[in-house]
Structure 1
Amino acid sequence: MVRTCVIGCGNMGSALVRGLYASGNHSVVACDLDPDALAAVADYCEETTDDVGRAADAEVVFLAVKPDIVEAVLDELDLSADQTLVSIAAGVPTAFVEARTDARVVRIMPNLAAETRDMAAAATGDVTDEVRELLDDVGEFAEIEEGQMDIATAVNGSGPAFVFYFIEAMTEAGVAGGLDHEEAQVLAAQTFKGAAETVLQDDRTADELVDAVCSPNGTTIEGMEVLWDSEADAALADAVAAAEQRSEELAAAFEDD
């Protein structure tokens, strides 16, 4: 069992707590100043506390707080060189964290699917085998360069919201066609889930898979013709670019420090 401490039990932190608990490979201490946040994860960890000092006993410490309080939390942490600090604070450069701790530093951008152990994460910094195994426990990850973290933040960090948007659009289209909302949502969500798994498991590219699904004169190609003639891909690219730009703005504020 890896002794793990998660500091910050908001949406992302609590998702990590639940995912790590579900893996069965971690002894988790959850730390937050909000008693309601701690109560929400109490069933998924060994201990809840408002004392960041408890992180001193952990092998791996997750810093899952908002960017504007990262420095204040780091000032309270006293970690050693044999510990690993994993920062998931959006826009906070690895160097900023490294300058304020003796621990090995890994920066990751995860997403909320950590809760169901389907997380997509980007990682940079001192990524040890211990961290790799931990990330494997809650999903899939890619090791990237520090300079790629802003675009990774946009793709996999913000990406779930974009996917939720399209699932809702497909759901509403189903409802408009006469399906019950719950039925339509199950069909839409499971379709996204299955399609995503196919992309991960199949050797073909996404474009090749589109071609495989589109039978000549069939229903799918009729729908794809509409998408190909639309600006849906451009709109999605613009959404990713906007999220990337915001990540760059957050990072710039810390670099000025």
Structure 2
Amino acid sequence: MELGFIGCGNMAQAMIAGILDHNVMPKEALAASGPTPSKMEKAKEKFGIMTTTNNREAAKAEIVVLSVKPQMYHEVIHEIRDDISKSQLIVTIAAGVTMAQVERQFGKEVKIIRVMPNTPALVGEGMSGMCCNEYVEEEELERVRRIFESFGKVEIVTEDLIDAVVGVSGSSPAYVYMFIEALADAAVMQGIPRNKAYTFAAQSVLGSAKMVLETGEHPGALKDAVCSPAGTTIEAVRVLEEKGMRSAVIEAVAAASEKSRDMGK
């Protein structure tokens, strides 16, 4: 077994879907564990992978992904630590749990790769920040990196930046959904039918994001290019600045990052 997920919630399922949809590895190479038999049976039917309610079974994989909530790490690690060898890779995806904390809970030298992904992995557009401890070889880090690149983009960062990654990409799909919802509400207020309003709003966000990534231009320059003198767009930008949109976003990212730091204390 190449890849085992301990925990099979939304993030794990997004990753599994991305891996299978992009043919990174066959379904026979994956396994997942979780405490609820009915949920694991549904995951088995959905993905065709091996599922179990026994975490120690999933912990036999070459790469073990701890995809449980941060508060569950101590209990899960205590359960599997005697089954983990020095050759295995432990991938953690929890906010606020440092690699040093994970190693202390295992009570021995363990190869740890810490990743902060996000749920757009489900549609192949995830964003992940990644770092590792000193026991991980370069080729092992690249192996895990390729897995995460199968459903999005990956940037290698130092661990001290992971909390910022939580704020800017780990949590930010929620902010973007709020923005899309607000755009759609405004469109409905202007008379556009609800179903069409979501399409107009979501596609505009998608296209704008691709412009940033594919042109390499500064977002400010792209914004300026849309703002004709005395036009509609600059009028809207004026109102957004007046209402504090930029500051609200900055404060939101700072709050999420600080919460992640606090969780690790």
TM interval, shorter chain, is over 0.9
Q: With structure 1 as the length reference, what TM-score do the two structures score?
A: 0.92
1:59 matched to 2:62: yes
Contact 1:108 1:122 in 2 (8 A): yes
- Deviation for aligned residue 1:141: 1.3
Query: What number of residue pairs does the alignment pair up?
Result: 251
Q: Helix, strand or coil for the counterpart of 1:120?
A: strand
Identify the residue that residue 107 of structure 1 maps to in structure 2. Answer: 114
Between the aligned partners of 1:67 and 1:200, the Cα distance in structure 2 is 32
1:124 matched to 2:123: no
Amino acid at match of 2:184: T
**Runs of 5+ in structure 1 lacking a partner?**
253-257
1:32 matched to 2:34: yes
**Runs of 5+ in structure 2 lacking a partner?**
none
Between the aligned partners of 2:15 and 2:201, the Cα distance in structure 1 is 26
Contact 1:21 1:28 in 2 (8 A): no
Q: How does 1:170-181 map to 2 (within 5 A)?
A: 170-181=183-194
Q: How does 1:140-155 map to 2 (within 5 A)?
A: 140-155=153-168
RMSD: 1.6
Identify the residue that residue 13 of structure 2 maps to in structure 1. Answer: 14
Between the aligned partners of 2:48 and 2:100, the Cα distance in structure 1 is 30
Contact 1:108 1:121 in 2 (8 A): yes
Q: With structure 2 as the length reference, what TM-score do the two structures score?
A: 0.90
Identify the residue that residue 255 of structure 1 maps to in structure 2. Answer: none
Between the aligned partners of 1:4 and 1:46, the Cα distance in structure 2 is 11
Shift of the 37–16 alpha-carbon distance from structure 1 to 2, 3 Å rule, reads farther
Identify the residue that residue 151 of structure 2 maps to in structure 1. Answer: 138
Deviation readout 1:199-233 (Å, 9 max, x if unpaired): 11112110011011222233222211222333111
Identity of paired residues, percent?
Answer: 35
Between the aligned partners of 2:172 and 2:182, the Cα distance in structure 1 is 16
1:96 matched to 2:98: no
Identify the residue that residue 263 of structure 2 maps to in structure 1. Answer: 250
- Deviation for aligned residue 1:45: 4.0
* Bigger Cα displacement from structure 2, 233-242 vs 216-225: 216-225
Identify the residue that residue 156 of structure 1 maps to in structure 2. Answer: 169
1:203 matched to 2:216: yes
Deviation readout 1:96-130 (Å, 9 max, x if unpaired): 11231654101111111111111111111146110
